Chain A
Amino acid sequence: MPYQARIIGILLLGLAGGVLPASAEFFNLAPQPPAAKYGNILIDRLATKSGVKPVAFSHWLHRQKYTCRVCHSELEFNMKTSTTEITESANLAGRYCGACHNGKIAFGQDRCITCHNGEIGHGEEKFAKLLLRPLVRTEYGDGIDWVASLRNGAVAPQSFLKSQAKEPPFGRELSLEAEWVKFPPAVFPHKAHTDWLACSNCHPDIFNIKKKTTRHFSMPLILKGEFCGVCHVTVAFPMNDCKRCHPAMTPDSVKR
C-alpha cells in the first residue's frame, strides 16, 4: 500500500519537524538586516488596498525620543505589525500616530509620503546622523546598546505622553535556569526592561508574574517570536547576541 505508507511517512516527518526542535538548524537564525534597517517595519493593513503606499516605520528613530511604553502601552499600538486599527480618521482625531503627528509635537498629517512611501529603508541618512552621538555600541541589531545609552544619558526618551501615571518600581534581577545541561542560566534584569517598558507590556499576557509558572516558556518558542522573542528578534537586540542574556556562555556550551 504505497499510498498509505506515503501518508504515514509525511505525517511522521511533520511530527518530527513540527514538534521536536530541528536541533541541527536550531541556532541558524535568520540573517540580520543592515543596522539602519533593523527594527524597521512596513505597515500595510489598509494602505495598499486603499491605493496608497505602505507606511515605513522606523523603531530606532522613534525610540530616541519615546520609550516603548509610550506607543505600546499609552497609545495602544499592538506588538504585531499591521494589527493595530490605525485609520486616517483615528489619526486625525489625535489617536495612534496622530497623538504626536499633529503638526505640534511632530510633523502633521499633510506630509503623506513622509510615512506612506513603502520604502523599508526610508530615512537612512538620519541613522548616520544618529551614530554621531555618543551612543554605546554593540555588534548586533541596529548596533546600538539602547539600555546603556539611556543610562549614560546619550538618549533621553520621554516615558509618558499625556498621563503621568507612575509605574511601580521593581528592579529585581532574575536568574533563569536554562533547559539544557551545559547551558549557563539567563540573567533577566527587570530594571533594564522597566526603563523602557510598562509592566503590562510583558505581564500577564506574555509572562505570568510568578517565576516558573509561565507555560511553554522555552528557547525554541522564543526563537519563533514568542516570549522574549516578541521583541528580541524584531526591535530589541536580536538573539544572535547570546551572551547578553546568557553571560556565562562559551563556544563550548553550544558544542553538541
Chain B
Amino acid sequence: MKRLVLWISLIVLVCAGIASAQGGVKKKRPPGYEYGNVTINNFSANAGLAPVVFQHWSHRSRFTCRVCHVDIGFAMKAGATRVRAADNMKGYYCGTCHNGSMQFNKEKVFEACSKVSSSVDQKRCNKCHFVGDTGKREEEFYKFADDLPKERFGNGIDWEKAEEEGLVKPVDFIKGVSVKRPPLPVQKDFALAAKVEGMPEIIFSHKKHTVWNGCEVCHPEIFIGIKKGSTKYSMIEIFEGKYCGVCHDKVAFPQMGCQRCHTKPVS
C-alpha cells in the first residue's frame, strides 16, 4: 500500500509538472543596466566568495568584443571559460588587464584576484565578486549611458551609432596578447532573404560587425567557412541562441528589435 501511495504521488507530481510547464507568457526582461550582465560562479561559492557579476556594458565601452573573446580567449558561453583566481594572478583572462599595472585613459586598472585577503583587499574583491549595492552600479550605468544615442532595447544604448559618432572608442589591441593583422577589404552590405513571405529582407553589414568583432568571433565556428549560403539556419534557431543569437539577445541588441535586421523594404 505504501508503495502504491508513493507511485500515485509520483505520477501526480509528474503530471502537475507537465501541466504547469508554461510557455505562453512574457519573460521578464532585465533592466538596461543589467542587460548583458553575466554571473560567473564556477569556483566562487566554494572559495567563500560571491559570484562574479560581469558587466558587458562597462567593458565594451572601452574594448572591442574581439579583444576578450579572441585574443584573451574568453568563451562565448557564460561560465564556460572556468576562470580561476590563479589564472588571473598569472595574467591570463581578467588578469590580462586587471594586473595592477595596466593603464586605461591614464587611470590604473585595478588588480584582480590575490592570494591573501585583508580588509583593504575585500573592497577590491567585491568589485567583481559582487555583493551589495546594485543601486550604485545602476547609477554608474546611467551616468555613462545618458549622453549616448538611444535604442529601444537591451542596454537602451545604440552602440553602433555611439561608435560611429566617436562617443565610444573601443580599443582593439592589447600589447602582449593581440597580434598585428593585415587589414582586409571590408565586404559590401548584402541582403539575406527572409523565409516568410511579406517579411522585409535582412541587410547584413560586415562593416558594422567587424568594428567590434574582427573576423574571428564569427568565422569559422559560428558561421561555417566564409562562403555565403554555406551555413543554413532559421530564425527559430537564432531565437534558441544559435548563429546570430550567440550575441544578439545576450549582449548585442536583442532580437526583439526586428527592424534592425529586417530592413529592406518589401518590393
B-side contacts of A251, CB under 8 Å: none
Known contacts A74-B152, A78-B26, A226-B23: A168-B8 contact under CB 8 Å: no
Q: How far is the CB of A25 from chain B (nearest CB, A)?
A: 17
A-side contacts of B25, CB under 8 Å: 79-80, 205-206, 225-226, 230
User: Would you call B174 an interface residue if the criterion is a C-beta within 8 Å of the partner chain's C-beta atoms?
Assistant: no
User: Would you call B27 an interface residue if the criterion is a C-beta within 8 Å of the partner chain's C-beta atoms?
Assistant: yes
User: Would you call B16 an interface residue if the criterion is a C-beta within 8 Å of the partner chain's C-beta atoms?
Assistant: yes
Cα A154 to Cα B198 in complex, Å, equals: 29
Known contacts A15-B12, A210-B236, A221-B24: A165-B31 contact under CB 8 Å: no
Complex contact B259–A76 (CB within 8 A): no
Known contacts A15-B15, A170-B199, A206-B26: A165-B152 contact under CB 8 Å: yes
Q: How far is the CB of A50 from chain B (nearest CB, A)?
A: 16
Complex contact B142–A73 (CB within 8 A): no
Q: B24's contact among A7, A162, A201, A226, by CB below 8 Å, is which?
A: A226
Which of these binds chain B: A55-63, A117-125, A211-219? A211-219
Chain B, residues 40-84, CB within 8 Å of chain A (1/0): the string is: 000000000000000000000000000000000000000000000
Complex contact A200–B256 (CB within 8 A): yes
Chain B, residues 248-259, CB within 8 Å of chain A (1/0): the string is: 000000011111
Cα A83 to Cα B25 in complex, Å, equals: 13
Binding site for B on A (CB under 8 A): 1, 4, 7-8, 11-12, 14-15, 18-19, 73-74, 76, 78-80, 83, 85, 93, 162-163, 165-172, 198-201, 203-210, 213-217, 221-222, 225-227, 229-230
Complex contact B22–A170 (CB within 8 A): no
User: Would you call B21 an interface residue if the criterion is a C-beta within 8 Å of the partner chain's C-beta atoms?
Assistant: yes
Binding site for A on B (CB under 8 A): 1-2, 4-5, 8-9, 11-12, 15-16, 18-19, 21-29, 31-32, 142, 150-153, 196-200, 235-236, 239, 255-260, 262, 266
Can you sample 8 A-B contacts with CB below 8 Å?
A: A4-B1, A15-B15, A80-B26, A93-B142, A199-B258, A200-B256, A221-B22, A229-B24
Q: How far is the CB of B245 from chain A (nearest CB, A)?
A: 10
Residue of B nearest to A161 (CB): B152
Complex contact A206–B259 (CB within 8 A): no
A-side contacts of B15, CB under 8 Å: 15, 18-19
Cα A17 to Cα B37 in complex, Å, equals: 41
Known contacts A4-B1, A14-B12, A18-B16: A169-B22 contact under CB 8 Å: no
Q: How far is the CB of B260 from chain A (nearest CB, A)?
A: 7
Cα A207 to Cα B26 in complex, Å, equals: 9
Known contacts A18-B19, A76-B31, A221-B24: A167-B258 contact under CB 8 Å: yes
Interface centre among A1, A168, A225, A227 (most CB of B within 10 A): A168
Q: How far is the CB of B208 from chain A (nearest CB, A)?
A: 16
Complex contact A209–B8 (CB within 8 A): no
Q: B255's contact among A198, A204, A207, by CB below 8 Å, is which?
A: A204
A-side contacts of B235, CB under 8 Å: 209
8 closest A-B pairs (Cβ-Cβ)? A200-B256, A226-B24, A227-B24, A79-B26, A168-B262, A204-B239, A168-B200, A11-B12
Known contacts A163-B152, A204-B239: A230-B12 contact under CB 8 Å: no
Residue of A nearest to B262 (CB): A168
Complex contact B19–A1 (CB within 8 A): no
Complex contact B152–A214 (CB within 8 A): no
A-side contacts of B262, CB under 8 Å: 168
Residue of A nearest to B249 (CB): A204
A-side contacts of B239, CB under 8 Å: 204, 208-209
A-side contacts of B31, CB under 8 Å: 76, 85
Residue of B nearest to A225 (CB): B25
Cα A219 to Cα B11 in complex, Å, equals: 24
Q: How far is the CB of B200 from chain A (nearest CB, A)?
A: 5
Cα A227 to Cα B23 in complex, Å, equals: 8
Starting from the known contacts A8-B8, A76-B32, 13 additional A-B residue pairs (CB-CB under 8 Å) come to A11-B9, A12-B12, A15-B12, A73-B256, A93-B142, A170-B196, A200-B256, A206-B24, A206-B25, A216-B22, A216-B23, A226-B22, A230-B24
